[in-house]
Amino acid sequence: VSESLVSIVRYQPEADSVRRAVDLCRGLDRLPAGGRVFVKPNIVFWTRAVPFPKWGVVTTSRVVEAVVRLLKEHGAGQITLGEGMVLPDPKDEATPAHAFDYLGYGRLRERYGVRAVNVLRQPFQKVALGDGVELSFNREALEADFLVSLPVLKTHAQSLVSLGTKNLKGLTDIASRKKCHGPDPAQDLNFHLARLADWLPPCLTVIDGIYSLELGPSFDGRARRNDLLIASADILSADLVGAACLGFEPARVPHLALMARRRGRPTDLSDVKVAGLPVREAAVPHQYSFAYTEDGSLPLALKQMGLSGLSYRQYDLTMCTYCSALNLVIISAITRAFKGRPFDDIEILTGKVMKASPGKKHTLLVGKCIYQANKDNPDINDLKAIKGCPPSPRRVVETLRELGIEVDPYPFEHLDEVPGWFMKRYRGRPEFDESFFRID
C-alpha cells in the first residue's frame, strides 16, 4: 500500500519532523522485528585539514540521529551506518574515522549500539544488474534486512540530481564507481544509476533537505536553507518527488526516467500519492551546472572575463569522481592565472571519450583514460598528457606551466585545504548552522 506514498514535511527544530515524515509515508511498515538495518548517509567527501561547508553536501546528523531513534523504537536489531567517501587516498582510514567522530556517530554507538563502517575497508560482493552489468556492493548492505538511504536534497553536475538512488553508489567499490562512468554511450552513467537500487531489501528513503544544494554535489556548490524532508518506502517515488522539489520535471532526469521505465512506472507523479506539503509548495528551482559557451568550449564566466586562447570543454558523464575533484581545482587555478593575455591556443580534454579538435596548437589530456583515447590522434600537434589515474596534481602544475599558464601550485599541493575556501560564502549567515552536523 505504502509503495508510492511520499511525504513532504517542513522541518521544524522542535517538532520531531523526521518522525512525522516517516509516519506519513508509513516508511517503517516493512521493517522486520529485530532485523539488521543498514543506514547509508551521504558524506561524499571529508577533510581533516580545515572546516568546510557541509550544508547541502553531507546528511545532517540531526536527521541521522532521528532516523536511528525511530528505527530502534520500531524494533530494529543491529544498525550499521556505512559510507565510502571519496578521498584523495582511498586507503586513508583516519579521515573517515574523523568524519564519523565529528558527525557524532560515536554517540550513536553509545546510545543505540550503532556501528559506523568505512565501506571501502569492508568486503564487497558482485551483483548482476542485467545486460551484462556487474557492480560490487558492500556485502553487509546486501545482506541487511532493511536499508535506509539518507541522501541530501542536491543537484549533481552530471546526473542532474543526486538523491536516494544515486546515494547507493557510495556502497560500491572504486572499480564499480569507475565502471559507472564507462565510455559506452549505451551503458553510460544514467544506465548504471537506473539499476543501482535493483537489489534493495525493503527500504526507507529520507531525503534531507534541511539544506539543499545547487551546483552540487560537493562543497563548491551553493547551499540553501530549505527546511524540507521527503520520505518514502519506495526509493524511486522519493527521488521523483525530490527531483520535482529541486525544480526538475522528473521525466527530464535521465536516470530516473530510465529507472521508471524499467519498473513500468510513469514519471509524471500520477501514481504517487503525496502526503503533507504539496509538491508545488515545496518546489524551488535549483541550477545543476555552470553555464558554458554555446559551442561548449569554455565556462561562460571565463569567457565573460575575457579569457581566450583556451578551450576547456564541459566534462561529460565519463569523467569519474577522482578526475572531477581535480577538474574543479584546475579550472579555478587557470582562472586565477589569467592576467588578461590570451593563452597559447590550448585545448584541455577530460573523461574518457573526448576527441581533440583539429588545428589546436597544444592539447592537454588530463587522466589515463583520455590519454588512451587520444594518444594516437593525428589531429594533435603538441600532445601533453597527465597519464595517471587519478592524475597527479603535481604533474598538472608542471604541465600547465610548460604551456605558459602560470598556475599557483599551492592548491594542488594542499588539496585537502581547498574545501575550506568555500566557507567564506556562509560567514555571518546564522541559518548555516554547524551544529546540524554534531550530536550532543
Q: Applying CB under 6 A, which of residues 258, 389, 415, 423 lies at the interface with ligand SF4?
A: 389
Residue 415 as a binder of ligand SF4 (CB under 6 A): the answer is no
Taking the least distance from each CB to ligand SF4, the nearer of 92 and 271 is: 92
The β-bridge relationship of strands 134-138 and 124-128 is: antiparallel
Q: CB 89 → ligand SF4: shortest distance, Å?
A: 14
Of residues 299 and 390, the one with the C-beta less far from ligand SF4: 390
Q: Which residues of 311-326 are buried (b: 16+ CB within 10 A; e: fewer)?
A: bbbbbbbbbbbbbbbb
Grid cell, residue 413, equals 599541493
Q: Does 169 bind ligand SF4 (CB under 6 A)?
A: no
CB of 227 to ligand SF4, least distance (A): 36
Question: Does residue 367 interact with ligand SF4 by CB under 6 A?
Answer: yes
Helices (H), 307-351: 321-337
Least distance from C-beta 269 to ligand SF4, angstroms? 35
Strands 79-83 and 5-10: unpaired
Number of shown-chain residues binding ligand SF4 (CB under 6 A): 12
> If DSSP codes are grouped into helix, strand and coil, which group holds residue 13?
coil
- Residue of 40, 156, 178, 313 that binds ligand SF4 (CB under 6 A): 178
CA–CA separation, 80 and 62 (whole Å)? 17
Q: Which residues pair with 125 in a beta bridge?
A: 137
| 224 belongs to the binding site for ligand SF4 (CB under 6 A) | no
Q: Is 319 in the site for ligand SF4 (CB under 6 A)?
A: yes
Q: Is 323 in the site for ligand SF4 (CB under 6 A)?
A: yes
Phi, psi at 432, each rounded to 5°: -95, 95
CA 223-390-338 angle, 5° bins? 65
Smaller CB separation from ligand SF4, 390 or 393: 390
Query: Judged by CB under 6 A, does residue 390 bind ligand SF4?
Result: yes
Count the neighbouring beta carbons within 10 Å of the beta carbon of residue 111: 14
154, 313, 352, 360: residue in contact with ligand SF4 (rule CB under 6 A): 352
Per CB under 6 A, the segment of 138-146, 148-156, 298-306, 364-372 that binds ligand SF4 is: 364-372
b or e along 197-220 (b: 16 or more beta carbons within 10 Å of the residue's beta carbon)? bbbbbbbbbbbbbbbbbbbbbbbb
The binder of ligand SF4 chosen from 322, 343, 412, 437 (CB under 6 A): 322
Give contact residues for ligand SF4 (rule: CB under 6 A): 178, 319-320, 322-323, 351-352, 367-369, 389-390
